[in-house]
Amino acid sequence: MKFLSGKELARELESELQRQAASLASGGHLPTLAVIRVGDDPGSEIYVRTKLKSAQRVGITSLERHLPVTVSQQELEETVEAFNADPAIHGILCQLPLPAKIQLERIVERIDPLKDVDCFHPENVGLLAMGRPRFLPCTPAGILELLRRNEISVAGRHVVVLGRSNIVGRPLSILLSQKGVDATVTLCHSRTARLAEIAREADILVAAIGRPEWVGADMVKEGAVVVDVGVHRVEDSSKERGYRICGDVNQAEVAGRVSAMTPVPGGVGPMTVAMLVSNTLKAAFLQTQPRYE
Amino acid sequence: MKFLSGKELARELESELQRQAASLASGGHLPTLAVIRVGDDPGSEIYVRTKLKSAQRVGITSLERHLPVTVSQQELEETVEAFNADPAIHGILCQLPLPAKIQLERIVERIDPLKDVDCFHPENVGLLAMGRPRFLPCTPAGILELLRRNEISVAGRHVVVLGRSNIVGRPLSILLSQKGVDATVTLCHSRTARLAEIAREADILVAAIGRPEWVGADMVKEGAVVVDVGVHRVEDSSKERGYRICGDVNQAEVAGRVSAMTPVPGGVGPMTVAMLVSNTLKAAFLQTQPRYE
Q: Where are the domains of chain B?
A: 28-112, 138-269
DSSP track, B4-54: --SHHHHHHHHHHHHHHHHHHHHTT---EEEEEEES--HHHHHHHHHHHHH
In whole angstroms, what is the distance from residue B132 CA to residue B127 CA? 5
For residue A70, is pLDDT > 80? Answer: yes
Q: In the 8-state DSSP scheme, what is residue B99?
A: P
Chain A residue numbers with beta carbons less than 8 Å from the beta carbon of B105 are: 132
Task: Render pLDDT for A71-83 as a digit per residue (tens, 0 to 9).
Answer: 999 999 999 999 9
Contact B186 A188 (CB under 8 A): no
Mean pLDDT of A254-260: 97
Nearest residue of A to residue B183, measured between CA atoms = A192
The number of beta carbons lying within 10 Å of the beta carbon of residue B165 is 16
Contact B126 A126 (CB under 8 A): yes
Domains A28-112 and A138-269 share a fold: yes
B239 is catalytic: no
Chain B residue numbers with beta carbons less than 8 Å from the beta carbon of A122 are: 122-124, 126-127, 130
Contact A125 B130 (CB under 8 A): yes
Contact, B129 vs B177, CB < 8 A? no
Chain B residue numbers with beta carbons less than 8 Å from the beta carbon of A174 are: 129, 170, 174
Nearest to B258 by CA among B224, B216, B213: B224
Contact A187 B188 (CB under 8 A): no
Contact, A62 vs A90, CB < 8 A? no
In whole angstroms, what is the distance from residue B30 CA to residue B37 CA? 22
For residue A261, what is the enclosing H or E element?
A: strand A260-261
Task: Render pLDDT for A74-112 as a digit per residue (tens, 0 to 9).
Answer: 999 999 999 999 999 999 999 999 999 999 999 999 999
- A234-241: Cβ within 8 A, 24+ apart: none
A158-162 and A204-207 as β-strands: parallel, antiparallel, unpaired?
parallel
Which member of B124, B156, B194 has the closest CB to residue A191?
B156
Contact, A158 vs A196, CB < 8 A? no
Nearest to A14 by CA among A149, A140, A118, A121: A149
Mean pLDDT of A184-208: 98
Nearest to A219 by CA among A206, A210, A230: A206
Nearest to B165 by CA among B198, B117, B125, B127: B125
Q: Which residues of chain B, if any, have pLDDT below 50?
A: 293
Chain A residue numbers with beta carbons less than 8 Å from the beta carbon of B164 are: 177, 179
Contact A187 B170 (CB under 8 A): no
In whole angstroms, what is the distance from residue B289 CA to residue B293 CA? 8
For residue A162, what is the enclosing H or E element?
A: strand A158-162
Which residues make Cβ contacts (< 8 Å) with residue A166, sequence separation at least 6?
Answer: A120, A125, B129, B130, B131
In whole angstroms, what is the distance from residue B285 CA to residue B24 CA? 7
Contact A129 B130 (CB under 8 A): no
Q: What distance in Å separates residue A154's CA from the closest CA in chain B?
A: 11
**CATH architecture of the domain covering B28-112:** 3-Layer(aba) Sandwich (3.40)
Q: pLDDT tier at A30 (50, 70, 90 boundaries)? A: very high
Contact B187 A177 (CB under 8 A): yes
Mean pLDDT of A213-239: 97
B228 is catalytic: no
Mean pLDDT of A192-211: 98
Nearest residue of B to residue A134, measured between CA atoms = B122
Q: What distance in Å separates residue B122's CA from the closest CA in chain A?
A: 4
- Among A20, A51, A115, A282, the active-site one is A51
Which residues make Cβ contacts (< 8 Å) with residue A38, sequence separation at least 6?
Answer: A44, A66, A67, A68, A69, A71, A76, A94, A95, A98, A99, A102
Q: In the 8-state DSSP scheme, what is residue A249?
A: B
Q: What distance in Å separates residue B108's CA from the closest CA in chain A?
A: 12
Q: What is the pTM of this model?
A: 0.96
Q: What distance in Å separates residue A187's CA from the closest CA in chain B?
A: 6
Contact, B279 vs B135, CB < 8 A? yes
Edge-to-edge strands, sheet with B204-207: A2-3, A260-261, A225-228, A204-207, A158-162, A184-188, B184-188, B158-162, B204-207, B225-228, B260-261, B2-3
In whole angstroms, what is the distance from residue B47 CA to residue B273 CA? 9
In whole angstroms, what is the distance from residue A261 CA to residue A239 CA? 24
> How many residues belong to chain A?
293
What is the structure's pLDDT at B289? 85
Chain A residue numbers with beta carbons less than 8 Å from the beta carbon of B202 are: none
For residue A293, is pLDDT > 90? Answer: no
**CATH architecture of the domain covering B138-269:** 3-Layer(aba) Sandwich (3.40)
Which residues make Cβ contacts (< 8 Å) with residue A293, sequence separation at least 6?
Answer: A134, A286
What is the structure's pLDDT at B292? 55
Which residues make Cβ contacts (< 8 Å) with residue B234, sequence separation at least 6?
Answer: B212, B213, B243, B244, B246
What is the structure's pLDDT at A289? 85
**Helices B169-176, A122-129: crossing angle, 10 deg rounding:** 120
Nearest residue of A to residue B203, measured between CA atoms = A193
In whole angstroms, what is the distance from residue B139 CA to residue A277 CA? 38
B25 to each of B15, B62, B218, B276, how far by Cα in Å? 15, 14, 52, 18
Question: Residue A93 half-sphere exposure, CB side, CA atoms within 13 Å?
Answer: 29
Contact A126 B131 (CB under 8 A): no
What is the structure's pLDDT at A206? 98
Contact, A164 vs A185, CB < 8 A? no
Instruction: Identify the residue among B118, B162, B189 best suited for mutation to test binding to A, counting A beta carbons within 10 A and taking the highest.
Output: B189
Instruction: Identify the residue among B123, B161, B162, B172 best suited for mutation to test binding to A, counting A beta carbons within 10 A and taking the highest.
Output: B123
Q: What distance in Å separates residue B56's CA from the closest CA in chain A?
A: 31
In whole angstroms, what is the distance from residue A24 CA to residue B104 CA? 32
Strands (E), B128-200: 158-162, 184-188
- Reported ipTM: the value is 0.95
Q: pLDDT tier at A291 (50, 70, 90 boundaries)? A: low
A184-188 and B184-188 as β-strands: parallel, antiparallel, unpaired?
antiparallel
Contact, B207 vs B249, CB < 8 A? yes
A287 is catalytic: no
Burial of A231 (0-12, 13-18, 19+ CB in 10 A): middle
